[in-house]
């Protein structure tokens, strides 16, 4: 009797956040037998933490908005390294995906005339984010979950994958274990969709939940898939900095969208000091204009606090470095000041930003309606990831699809806030659709074809128990990796430090290979951590390698030794594949020229 | 920077309900929450300590436990709200089957939700180029939006005596799913009617309004006042109102 259970599906979806659930629903609607594996319980995935909203050019608040403006905003935000076809599909299809969510039971905030309300966000020309207070991610995941459980989909909760099974260049399933009892599971599938999210847990200060260990990226890389833009990690400008135990916890961009301003310790609004050339014409040049913009005045331009995240994060770091920071190493984010403008500011803030009010009150003993918050940059999002075909979301491995944060291309060098939730829906749906149609043409492979691979995988998974408590402590290795990435491959990078990080990562890989844990396989968090190290170390190395290669500063990637944008680098993406010896093989690939119509959309919105 | 002090955490350890408290002594700092303490114990003293958590921001509802006897989220319970001169007890939710250490089997909740008739949308008010459109006023969605704040931490289920003391899991769906039914019933876009099911299959009558659920809700949802009582009233209106009954007979 084999030491594992076997499940067979047409489409196996890995991950149950927004992209995974949307893919599963779509594949199921097209007649596929669908299984979903998820590392946590249903409805708990990182999507739940998304706050601000989902970007879709519906034009409810400002009817000048349309997909061409959204497209141009996305490309400019991504510094033109985006896959323009993905940006086009995303801008065109997002409104339909939002409406569909409503037709499945989501309840968005409303405009005065009863339509879905949209709010301002950094880098978006018009109010574009459909939202529910500051808990839009919860609304989205709950809607998809509550709809999905009635579609005949099988959910395998609290299950982690150890490997993808690939035969002859085609992905035929995956092997993993369920966390609760530690039992092994074999999944045979005609198509597999990866929707595993990001890699934030490779860094010490992050807004991401524990699941974000880069599993999808690592699984795909080891399976031979091509990776793209791995140097582009987004550091969100506003994470909590105090108290230490919540360092990194996200403070939504919605605070700035509602009129919140950034100040240094001298009380100065420092964002007015540095407005990039390509945003100057669309940015307010005085505080009053900025305030009017946040209150919906169509003739005003956005305040500089709503410039793109990469830029705002670097300005904050500059203030702190120059000794103008707040007591705990951040700067001040002030929404309380709006009491000068609004008589009912306390109720207004609580209504518009309930989670933020709650979060600061409970975790930092601070009332945001009365006092400024202390904030600083936090690792937030992975723009890079698995390279996919724009239309089908298929990776370079047959039958293997990827959608959402673990896939790359839509966001280029920097993602705009609000473009992630819409990304999940647009490309989750596409991945589900194309995975289902791919599956139709395939025969399933039996377990015998992969027996050796499974045996190796089990031996590898059991090894930490054999070494027991005399092996390396997995929590220590994880913590050291997080410090390494934070300090050496973080928001500001330099060649010597990235090289130092790479050598540390190699040492940590050796230590991870001799990690040990005690106890048994039942809900053993130490064991789970030991097995997650493979993914974390793999993605950390890819980020560092790509970061070393790109000798310029652009979007989320800032090099102290090459602080400027370089036009030549603006025309290449970096791709990484697994070489014959197993080592990463890096390649510069020219960006494809944009078709005339899309080029025109960019020009007309400059 | 942070000031440190010493604290003892009395954590319930064991498998399948067999086990007991184990004391861990720990240096703690200003601003820490209970989940931080549990993580530190895990990293340094007991690597196989079982604990379920996810976002550590009070948004996912994974790290529910009983802290000094009260159902709470470990990630939102600051140590400075507890008396650290005495050991802090941390134990799993007692209403659900035990798995290991602080982890319980909450799968019953997922099967209950499956039984509740899903959202049934009413016909759209118009059709635009990007799909169906509805016009709904904000005032009309404020109430269901309150219920949709629920993060499914199941602390209300844990504390509800109908489930905890009387084990009526097959007759009563618990406060979490009454508010789930309530947000569907009160959603202006929903056409369904779940009142008969609430009365017969979901056991709304078993709730005797002790409001324990409301007290433990980390999202501050007025479970009893805004969801359970109005639904009880609707059930009464539909099934027990004598005038309505008369009217139905003559109809």
Backbone angles phi, psi at A116, to 5 degrees: -70, 125
Give me the helices (H) in A207-342, please: 215-222, 254-257, 277-280, 287-294, 309-321
CA dist., res. A245 & res. A255, Å (int): 22
Q: Tokens 């140097």 sit at which residue?
A: A231
CA dist., res. A164 & res. A37, Å (int): 13
The shortest CB-CB distance from A209 to any of B60, B99, B151 is to: B60
Average pLDDT on A486-515 reads 97
Which CATH number is A282's domain given? 3.90.700.10
Looking at residue A467, its pLDDT comes to: 95
Secondary structure of residue A299 in the 3-state scheme: coil
Among the ranges given (A47-51, A214-218, A224-228, A398-402), the one the predictor scored with the smallest mean pLDDT: A47-51
> A537: distance to nearest CA of chain B, Å?
19
Using a 10 angstrom Cβ sphere, with 0-12 exposed, 13-18 middle and 19 or more buried, the burial of residue B85 is exposed
Q: Pairing mode, if any, of strands A373-382 and A331-334?
A: antiparallel
Q: Which of A120, A302, A303, A317 is nearest to A238 (CA)?
A: A317
Per-residue DSSP letter, A179: T
Q: How confident is the model at residue A520 (pLDDT cuts 50, 70, 90)?
A: very high
What HEC string does A543-591 produce? HHHHHHHCCCCECCECECCECCCCCCHHHEEEEEEECCCCCEEEEEEEC
How far from the centroid of its chain's Cα atoms is residue B12's Cα? 22
Give me the helices (H) in chain B, please: 34-44, 107-115, 138-147, 155-159, 161-164, 175-185, 195-200, 212-216, 229-239, 242-250
Q: Which of A298, A296, A272 is nearest to A286 (CA)?
A: A272
How far from the centroid of its chain's Cα atoms is residue A18's Cα? 11
Q: How confident is the model at residue A441 (pLDDT cuts 50, 70, 90)?
A: confident
Average pLDDT on A27-33 reads 98
* Domain locations in chain B as residue ranges: 4-104, 107-244
**Residue A172: pLDDT above 70?**
yes
Length in residues, chain B: 251
Average pLDDT on A76-97 reads 97
The shortest CB-CB distance from B133 to any of A99, A142, A249 is to: A99
Q: Are B76 and B56 in contact (CB under 8 A)?
A: no
Does A441 map to a domain? no
CA dist., res. A260 & res. A334, Å (int): 5
Per residue in B171-215, pLDDT tens?
A: 999 999 999 999 999 999 999 999 999 999 999 999 999 999 999
Domain check: are A351 and A475 in the same one?
no
Query: What is the CATH number assigned to the segment(s) B4-104?
Result: 3.10.20.30
Per residue in B122-145, pLDDT tens?
A: 999 999 888 889 999 999 999 999
**Residue B75: pLDDT above 90?**
yes
Average pLDDT on B71-88 reads 96
Give the CATH fold of the B107-244 domain: Fumarate Reductase Iron-sulfur Protein; Chain B, domain 2 (1.10.1060)
Angle between helices A474-488 and B34-44 (to 10 degrees): 110
> B186: distance to nearest CA of chain A, Å?
11
Domain check: are A258 and A368 in the same one?
yes
Q: Are B186 and B143 in contact (CB under 8 A)?
A: yes
Among the ranges given (A346-355, A494-503, A588-597), the one the predictor scored with the smallest mean pLDDT: A346-355
Looking at residue A449, its pLDDT comes to: 81
Residue of higher predicted confidence among A310 and A547: A547
Among chain A residues, the shortest Cα distance to B121 is held by A103
Per-residue DSSP letter, A58: -
Looking at residue A196, its pLDDT comes to: 98
CA dist., res. A183 & res. A225, Å (int): 28
Looking at residue A195, its pLDDT comes to: 98
Per-residue DSSP letter, B224: I
> B239: distance to nearest CA of chain A, Å?
27
Residues of A in contact with B47 (CB under 8 A): 469, 473-475, 517-519, 525-526, 529
Looking at residue B2, its pLDDT comes to: 58
Number of domains in chain A: 2
Looking at residue A278, its pLDDT comes to: 86
Domain extent for A348: 241-377
Does A325 map to a domain? yes
CB atoms within 10 A of CB A594: 18
Write out the H or E segment, with its range, that includes residue A346.
helix A345-352
**Residue A139: pLDDT above 80?**
yes
The shortest CB-CB distance from B187 to any of A105, A138, A209 is to: A105
How is residue A143 written in tokens? Answer: 């809607």
Interface mutation target, options B32, B60, B120, B125, chain A, most CBs of A under 10 Å: B60
Average pLDDT on A133-155 reads 97
How far from the centroid of its chain's Cα atoms is residue A244's Cα? 23
**Residue A37: pLDDT above 80?**
yes
CA dist., res. B183 & res. A106, Å (int): 10
CA angle, A539 then A543 then A544, to 5°: 115
**Residue B242: pLDDT above 90?**
no
Does A48 map to a domain? no
Secondary structure of residue A269 in the 3-state scheme: coil
Average pLDDT on A391-402 reads 98
Q: How confident is the model at residue B245 (pLDDT cuts 50, 70, 90)?
A: confident
Looking at residue B114, its pLDDT comes to: 97
Looking at residue A495, its pLDDT comes to: 98
Average pLDDT on A245-271 reads 94
| Mean confidence (pLDDT) of chain A | 95
**Residue B66: pLDDT above 70?**
yes
Looking at residue B246, its pLDDT comes to: 81
CA dist., res. A236 & res. A330, Å (int): 13
| Mean confidence (pLDDT) of chain B | 95
Which CATH number is A507's domain given? 1.20.58.100
Per residue in A179-190, pLDDT tens?
A: 999 999 999 999
Q: Which of A93, A8, A17, A16 is nearest to A58 (CA)?
A: A93
Q: What is the dihedral of CA B189, A128, A100, A208, to 10 degrees?
A: -110
Looking at residue A351, its pLDDT comes to: 87
Domain check: are A371 and A493 in the same one?
no
Looking at residue A446, its pLDDT comes to: 74
The shortest CB-CB distance from B78 to any of A249, A363, A519 is to: A363
Looking at residue A447, its pLDDT comes to: 74
Does A59 map to a domain? no
**Residue A88: pLDDT above 70?**
yes
Q: Are A196 and A470 in contact (CB under 8 A)?
A: no
CA angle, A500 then A502 then A503, to 5°: 65
Q: Are A32 and A439 in contact (CB under 8 A)?
A: yes
ipTM over 0.85: yes
Average pLDDT on A374-381 reads 96
**Residue A527: pLDDT above 70?**
yes
Interface mutation target, options A18, A114, A130, A467, chain B, most CBs of B under 10 Å: A114
Residues of A in contact with B56 (CB under 8 A): 209-210, 246, 249
CA dist., res. B159 & res. B69, Å (int): 11
Does A274 map to a domain? yes
**B69: left (phi > 0), else alpha (psi -120 to 50), else beta?**
left
**Residue A317: pLDDT above 70?**
yes
CA dist., res. A13 & res. A402, Å (int): 9
Q: Tokens 């969208």 sit at which residue?
A: A257
**Residue A1: pLDDT above 70?**
no
Contacts of A507 (CB under 8 A, 6+ apart): none
Q: How confident is the model at residue A465 (pLDDT cuts 50, 70, 90)?
A: very high
Catalytic residues of A: 236, 256
Looking at residue B248, its pLDDT comes to: 77
Secondary structure of residue A596 in the 3-state scheme: helix
**Residue B251: pLDDT above 80?**
no
* A517 to B138: CB separation less than 8 angstroms, yes or no: no
Final residue belonging to a domain, choices A360, A377, A394: A377
Residue of higher predicted confidence among A298 and B230: B230
Q: Pairing mode, if any, of strands B88-91 and A118-119?
A: unpaired
Residues of A in contact with B128 (CB under 8 A): 99
Q: How confident is the model at residue A430 (pLDDT cuts 50, 70, 90)?
A: very high
> B114: distance to nearest CA of chain A, Å?
7
Residues of B in contact with A362 (CB under 8 A): 58, 76, 78
CA dist., res. A535 & res. A196, Å (int): 12
Average pLDDT on A27-53 reads 96
Looking at residue A350, its pLDDT comes to: 93
Q: Are B156 and B216 in contact (CB under 8 A)?
A: yes
Using a 10 angstrom Cβ sphere, with 0-12 exposed, 13-18 middle and 19 or more buried, the burial of residue A269 is middle
Please tell me whether the peptide bond between B131 and the residue prior to it is cis, using omega within 30 degrees of 0. no
* A476 to B52: CB separation less than 8 angstroms, yes or no: no
CB atoms within 10 A of CB A537: 24
Domain check: are A372 and A457 in the same one?
no
Backbone angles phi, psi at B157, to 5 degrees: -70, -40
Task: Name all contacts of A56-59 with Cβ < 8 Å and 24+ positions apart.
Answer: A56/A94, A56/A95, A56/A97, A56/A98, A56/A118, A56/A128, A56/A130, A56/A422, A57/A91, A57/A94, A57/A95, A57/A126, A57/A128, A58/A95, A58/A98, A58/A115, A58/A116, A58/A118, A58/A128, A58/A130, A58/B130, A59/A126
Secondary structure of residue A31 in the 3-state scheme: coil
Domain check: are A249 and A362 in the same one?
yes
Does A164 map to a domain? no
């Amino acid at each position: 009797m084999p030491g594992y259970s076997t499940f067979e599906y047409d489409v196996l979806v890995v991950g149950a956040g927004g992209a995974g659930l949307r893919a599963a629903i779509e594949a199921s609607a097209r007649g596929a037998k669908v299984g979903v594996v998820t590392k946590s319980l249903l409805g708990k995935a990182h999507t739940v933490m998304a706050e601000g909203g989902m970007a879709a050019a519906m034009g409810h608040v400002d009817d000048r908005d349309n997909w061409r403006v959204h497209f141009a905003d996305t490309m400019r935000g991504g510094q033109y390294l985006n896959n323009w076809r993905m940006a086009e599909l995303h801008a065109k299809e997002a409104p339909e995906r939002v409406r569909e969510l409503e037709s499945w039971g989501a309840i968005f905030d409303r405009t005065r005339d009863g339509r879905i309300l949209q709010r301002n966000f950094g880098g978006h020309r018009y109010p574009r984010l459909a939202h529910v207070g500051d808990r839009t991610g919860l609304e989205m995941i709950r809607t998809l979950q509550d709809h999905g459980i009635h579609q005949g989909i099988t959910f395998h909760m609290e299950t982690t994958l150890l490997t993808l099974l690939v035969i002859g260049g085609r992905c035929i399933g995956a092997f993993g274990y369920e966390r609760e009892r530690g039992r092994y599971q074999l999944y045979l599938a005609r198509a597999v969709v990866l929707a595993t999210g990001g890699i934030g847990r490779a860094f010490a200060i992050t807004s991401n939940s524990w699941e974000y260990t880069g599993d999808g990226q690592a699984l795909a890389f080891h399976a031979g898939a091509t990776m793209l833009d791995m140097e582009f990690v987004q550091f969100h400008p506003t994470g909590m900095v105090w108290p230490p135990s919540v360092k990194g916890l996200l403070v939504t961009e919605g605070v700035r969208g509602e009129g919140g301003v950034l100040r240094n310790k001298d009380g100065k609004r420092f964002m007015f000091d540095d407005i990039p050339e390509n945003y100057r014409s669309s940015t307010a040049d005085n505080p009053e204009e900025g305030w009017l913009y946040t209150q919906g005045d169509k003739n005003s331009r956005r305040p500089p606090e709503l410039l793109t995240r990469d830029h705002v994060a670097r300005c904050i770091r500059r203030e702190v470095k120059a000794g103008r920071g707040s007591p705990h190493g951040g700067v001040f984010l002030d929404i309380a000041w709006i009491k000068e403008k609004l008589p009912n500011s306390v109720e207004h803030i609580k209504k518009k930003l309930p989670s933020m009010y709650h979060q600061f009150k409970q975790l930092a003993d601070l009332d945001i309606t009365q006092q400024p918050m202390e904030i600083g940059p936090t690792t937030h999002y992975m723009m890079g990831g698995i390279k996919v075909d724009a239309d089908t979301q298929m990776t370079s491995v047959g039958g293997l699809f990827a959608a959402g944060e673990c896939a790359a291309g839509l966001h280029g060098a920097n993602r705009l806030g609000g473009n992630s939730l819409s990304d999940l829906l647009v490309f989750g749906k596409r991945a589900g659709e194309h995975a289902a149609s791919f599956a139709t043409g395939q025969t399933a492979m039996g377990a015998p074809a992969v027996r050796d691979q499974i045996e190796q995988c089990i031996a590898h998974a059991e090894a930490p128990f054999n070494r027991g408590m005399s092996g390396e402590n997995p929590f220590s290795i994880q913590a050291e990796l997080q410090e390494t990435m934070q300090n050496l491959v973080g928001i500001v990078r330099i060649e010597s430090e990235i090289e130092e990080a790479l050598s540390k990562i190699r040492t940590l890989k050796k230590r991870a290979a001799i990690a040990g844990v005690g106890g048994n396989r039942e809900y053993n968090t130490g064991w789970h951590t030991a097995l997650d190290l493979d993914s974390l170390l793999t993605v950390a190395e890819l980020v560092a390698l790509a970061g070393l290669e790109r000798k310029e500063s652009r979007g989320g990637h800032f090099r102290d030794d090459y602080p400027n944008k370089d036009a030549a680098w603006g025309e290449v993406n970096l791709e990484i594949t697994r070489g014959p010896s197993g080592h990463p093989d890096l390649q510069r690939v020219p960006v494809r020229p944009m078709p005339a119509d899309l080029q025109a959309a960019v020009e007309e919105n400059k | 920077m942070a000031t440190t002090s010493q604290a003892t955490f009395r954590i319930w350890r064991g498998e399948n309900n067999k086990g007991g408290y184990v004391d861990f002594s720990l240096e703690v700092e200003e601003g820490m929450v209970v989940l931080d303490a549990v993580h530190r114990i895990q990293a340094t003293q007991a690597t196989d300590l079982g604990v379920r958590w996810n976002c550590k921001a009070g948004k996912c509802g994974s790290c529910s436990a009983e802290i000094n006897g009260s159902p709470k989220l470990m990630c939102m319970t600051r140590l400075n709200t507890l008396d650290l001169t005495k050991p802090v007890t941390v134990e799993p939710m007692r209403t659900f089957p035990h798995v290991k250490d602080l982890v319980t089997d909450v799968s019953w909740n997922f099967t209950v939700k499956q039984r509740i008739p899903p959202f049934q949308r009413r016909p759209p008010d118009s059709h635009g180029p990007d799909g169906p459109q509805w016009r709904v006023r904000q005032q009309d969605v404020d109430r269901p939006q309150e219920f949709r704040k629920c993060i499914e931490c199941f602390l209300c289920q844990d504390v509800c005596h109908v489930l905890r003391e009387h084990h009526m899991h097959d007759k009563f769906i618990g406060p979490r799913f009454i508010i789930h039914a309530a947000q569907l019933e009160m959603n202006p876009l929903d056409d369904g009617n779940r009142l008969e099911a609430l009365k017969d299959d979901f056991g709304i009558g078993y709730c005797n309004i002790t409001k324990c659920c409301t007290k433990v809700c980390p999202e501050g949802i007025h479970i009893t006042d805004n969801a359970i009582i109005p639904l009880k009233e609707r059930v009464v209106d539909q099934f027990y109102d004598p005038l309505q009954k008369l009217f139905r007979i003559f109809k």
